[in-house]
Amino acid sequence: MNDEQKAVLNFTQIAHIETGFKEKFGIPRQSGLAPDTFGRIIFEPEFRHPDAIKGIEEYDYLWLLFIFSENIKSDRKKWNATVTPPKLGGKERRGVFATRSPFRPNPIGLSCVRLEEIVTDEKKGHVLIVSGADLLNGTPIVDIKPYIPYADARPGVRGGFGENLSDKRLEVVFPEELKKQLPIGYRNAVVQILEQDPRTAFIHDEERVWGVFYYDYNIRFKVRGSILTVCGVEEILKD
């Protein structure tokens, strides 16, 4: 590929996703880890033709190719050859292409989500309802492909440095009186998000109160050892 060909490489946004994640902090670090989190994929007007998704209902899972849009907005222009994966405590470095770090030469992400249903909106056309998404609210999507089990699944293969750490979860203590302050449909999702330990990898201050935003709620918590205790739920009132 010559320089002229490289120069014309670009992507067209085909859709965006609506989720309960209003900021990057607290988003599960991989798709599917919080299966009760839901998202709505809204196609851009140009791509709302019903034939574009004909047959998609035959699949249980989809691959989403998306843009780390917040990284584009940041002042970070230079890419680094190595990064510090949170799974390794934020202290050990690995090659950027040996990780799924969002800080990459090209800010492209890949997420596997479950297709729950397709609904029709009078103004937005066909909307895909998905679960297990790990995307910030409003994330641009540049392509959608079906997950094909016979080709995409590779049972028994090595999973790198994250394999032995994939099942490490915190015990979540969520007092009932606080849990009742959340809508019923959010409760399981919030527990699944918290048990993944959303804290910054290198900060383990047991007295620090952290906060995760999910939809219009700020869930505050502390962590001591392997136990996370929710200590407050605050509804963020809209203007």
- Give me the residue spans of the domains in the chain: 3-152, 169-235
| Helix and strand numbers, DSSP H then E, in the chain | 5, 12
Q: Given the structure tokens 């998905």, which residue do they identify?
A: 130
What's the pLDDT band for 44 if we cut at 50, 70, 90?
very high
Domain 3-152 has CATH 2.40.30.70: yes
Question: How far is it, in rounded angstroms, from Cα 110 to Cα 112?
Answer: 7
For the stretch 152-189, pLDDT in tens is 988 888 888 766 665 678 999 999 999 999 999 999 99
Closest alpha carbon to 128 in 114, 142, 138: 114
CA distances from 120 to 14, 56, 123, 127, 146 (A): 17, 14, 9, 6, 20
CA distances from 20 to 5, 10, 131, 180 (A): 39, 29, 11, 18
3-class SS of residue 164? helix
| Average pLDDT, integer, range 183-207 | 91
Question: How far is it, in rounded angstroms, from Cα 82 to Cα 207?
Answer: 32
Q: Given the structure tokens 């620090």, which residue do they identify?
A: 208
Q: Tell me the two tokens of residue 1.
A: 């590929």
- pTM for this model (two decimals): 0.88
CATH fold group of domain 169-235: YaeB-like fold (3.30.2310)
Structure confidence at residue 10 (pLDDT) = 80
